[in-house]
Structure 1
Amino acid sequence: MLLAKGTLKYFPLKGESNDAGWLILECDRDLSLYYCWFVQKHLGLRLQHPKFGSHISVVRGEVVKNICRWNAYQSQTIDFYYSNEIKTNIRYWWLTVCSPCLMSVRQELGLDVRPEYDFHVTIGVWI
């Protein structure tokens, strides 16, 4: 696995009263650009870049039990490891991610350490 860094960004859901929000780890834009190029070069498929750029979804609109920890790590740089083996379900294309730090952040928020969808960087969507 390869080492990379990202920056935590919190996005509360406007108008939500149930303590739900989004937390992403914003990654270097070149990460998804390179792998999109690779897919196009070797498979001839053009992928649309992710809506929020290169990122790892840490909290995906889940109800946070320990709301006092929300925003605790805003803009903090976090290390993560990713596989260079591209995964796909034909529509979405991604790289598998491992990050004990992100698991700890989820745990502090009162969530399961592993999200519903394992940590990954979406590199693109085939449209």
Structure 2
Amino acid sequence: MRSSGTLRYSPELRPGSHRRRDGGSTRWWLILDGDPELGRYLRHLHWIAQRRLRSLQAPLWGTHVSVIRGELPPHPGHWGDGEGERVDFTFDPLGRETNGYVWFPVRCAAVLDLRERLGLPREPQPPLHLTVGNR
């Protein structure tokens, strides 16, 4: 399936704050904001698949792809490249669940190229995925 998202560097958790509950920071994070309606639709399908017994809440950042998760890039001069740009990606229509988070595998050469430009390994760990909800 195809969709698109908007690049957002150092996303805030609350207005004016990058501080996480565990004391960490979201300053060296890059996410691809996904379509909120797509997330709402996929959460609804999950609810139906769970026989309407187990619903999901939207992630704190909404539907998104985590591209960089707290990795300090060796080439920080490229930090912010493409901020606010729309990027197309494809995702596997079969969702998965890990530790209460529901996600879909993603393929997106554009964000992998961006990781390389920043001096990071092309493939992140965990691999690219669209997060749509959690329990």
Q: Same fold (TM over 0.5)?
A: yes
Runs (5+) with no aligned partner, structure 1: none
Whole-angstrom distance in 1 between the partners of 2:11 and 2:91: 27
RMSD: 1.8
Share of identical aligned residues, percent?
30
Paired residues, what number?
Answer: 121
Residue ranges of structure 2 left out of the alignment (5+ in a row): 13-17, 20-26
**Distance in structure 1 (CA, Å) of the matches to 2:82 and 2:99:** 34
Mapping 1:3-18, distance limit 5 Å:
3-11=2-10
Which among 37, 46, 70 is matched to residue 44 of structure 2?
Answer: 37
Q: How does 1:1-127 map to 2 (within 5 A)?
A: 2-11=1-10, 21-43=28-50, 44-89=53-98, 91-126=100-135
Cα displacement (A) at 1:42: 2.1
Q: d(CA) in 2 for partners of 1:90 and 1:40? A: 17
CA–CA separation in structure 1 for the residues paired with 2:71 and 2:99: 26
Counterpart residue identity of residue 65, structure 1: P
TM (norm. structure 1) is 0.88
Using the size of structure 2 for normalisation, the TM-score is: 0.83
Distance (Å, rounded) in 1 between the aligned partners of 2:80 and 2:55: 36
Q: Where do 4+ consecutive residues of structure 1 move more than 4 Å?
A: 12-15
Aligned-pair distance for 1:89?
A: 2.4
Q: Secondary structure at the match of 2:81?
A: coil
* CA–CA separation in structure 2 for the residues paired with 1:62 and 1:55: 18
